[in-house]
Chain A
């Protein structure tokens, strides 16, 4: 008989390895993509495709430069791409989407050493980068369910690279939606004090980013991942819990000024953020107590920025700032070792 083999214990494995987890996240994201394409048409489809390809390209180039084997097969760059695309407005010029994808992977991930090493959520780094770089384009909104959405692209989509996107007021008029103000529900609330109804949110009848429109769908897809233990349920629960609690307190105190918890939960990127982006494991804490605090911090910051900040939406920045605190949260919330006295390591 030839060589026996020596491997280290344990000799069994759960079978849920990185590609399996990542692939499942992609599956969970697909329904959201499909819904968003149905809502916004060709432009949304093109955007999702281009951003994802940009992410994959960036990842591959990075492999090439650093001389490592291809890491595309771990699927994480696909998630980054899809999530990033879902947080951009459907009318976002494709070239800017590509910039977002490249910066997400390079700035947010590769520079730190790739998979798992990134302290910030790469997709959100990509979005924050383009939000800071192209602030006008990223706050230009188009109506959902416009009539010709499958007949052609929104004019801004095909802007030539490095050029200013054209004005789309005229195009929106052509869609027969004169009343359209181009404001997201959050902006409408913040500046006009009009809160959209829960029904609008649940069915996606609002103006917003490609992937933040049907709260119920996101919730279902997130639940799938939570049930299969591919994400840590504590994070969405902590985020949604703290948002509900805080906005409920504010709402009780001044109902006219502060909207109801259900509005806060359903509007903007909260659902997608809580279920898919705050849960990015690389940039969130690992210890159970750290995770609860992290989720709560995201919730609190989101409410604070929405209520008191200059920006209308705060989920992205809340997650990024909470990412920055994650190492500290971990350090100060080490699990209590069985048999150790006290609560700290």
Chain B
């Protein structure tokens, strides 16, 4: 595998197979922790770490694990790294830990992880597997960040905790409530779809 193809794997995860906007997976953290941009990024990076590390390990062990216990082993590996992240965050910042709540632990159950481990890492050598996983992770982070920004700006009038519109701004509380999460995600999905449509129209428009 040459470097450019690894890089393609990486880009795939960010754009063509973006876990949030294209595959629509990992929805729980996507909606739950994106009330602020910081939370979103932290969650995204934590997931990226778990994704990369576990895909690497799964790929290394892919010949050693019998089929019947495949899922269980992958889950074990993922859970290990999640626990690692969980404690790491506790050690780094308790505020962040509080903000992300149980969703750090729930990274285990994030469909993206098992999906990647099963569909990609278990079938590919370590290097591309890891690249792909990290790409996915960044794609996920990007998605979370996009949602987090909108929710924080409208919901609190702030970005990264910095007030944007002065103290008389009326926050749109709904944005930080559960429905707001849905709405912002849907908004991005529509923007994404519109963009894809525009692109495909452009391609079709070229006389063949």
Contacts and interface: CB of A to CB of B under 8 A. Distances in A.
B103 interface: no
B189 to A, nearest CB: 11
A132 B170 contact: no
Contacts of B180: 132
Interface string B63-88: 00000000000000000000000000
Interface of B: 165, 168-170, 172-175, 177, 179-180, 183
A283 B206 CA distance: 43
B170 A165 contact: yes
A133 B172 contact: yes
A133 B183 CA distance: 12
Interface in A65-83: none
Interface residues of A, number: 13
B159 to A, nearest CB: 15
B169 A163 contact: yes
A163 B168 CA distance: 5
Contacts of B173: 132-135
A132 B177 contact: yes
A162 B170 contact: yes
B177 A162 contact: no
A164 interface: yes
Contacts of A226: none
A11 B180 CA distance: 49
A164 B172 CA distance: 11
Contacts of A162: 165, 169-170
Contact of A164 (B170, B179, B183): B170
B165 A132 contact: no
Interface in A146-166: 159, 162-165
B1 to A, nearest CB: 43
A89 B93 CA distance: 44
Nearest to A160: B168
A9 to B, nearest CB: 40
Closest 5 CB pairs of A and B: A132-B174, A133-B174, A133-B172, A164-B170, A163-B168
Nearest to A165: B170
